[in-house]
Amino acid sequence: MPDADPTNQNEKARRMAMMKTGSNPIVSLKSSDFDTYIKSGQPVFVDFWAEWCPPCKAMEPVIERLANRYSGKIIFGKLNTDEESEIATRYDVMSIPTFMVFKNGKPLDTAIGAVGEVALDRLIQKSMGGSGAIHR
């Protein structure tokens, strides 16, 4: 089965991201593709947000800068918690914005609120260092 190979999963997720985003390095995550992305073998940074959330809007430029900086190394995705509430519930997202990094289908680390670029950069660096899952 070709999808069992992590290399194929990683390549599949990368191709999906490129097709969906064009020049935008941030993927709009839906329940139909969420698990495919987070199980790809490549780290996935997820921004849990909503349209009505001012702190979420304030973090958009920060997320865009980080997505451009780490393009090709980590997948960046945005998940609208109003539209995809079952996924937000699955990961106990109670406040937004919430930022979560996944690797091999498991959440590694979480940051809640408008924490700023330096804190999110540290979160990403930690995920790329191969540390184990952190219990929330």
Which residues are catalytic, by number?
53, 56
Beta-bridge mates of residue 26: 76
> Residue 133 to residues 63, 81, 127: CA-CA distances in angstroms?
22, 23, 9
Q: Which residue has the tokens 């996924």?
A: 87
User: What are the tokens at 98?
Assistant: 């919430």
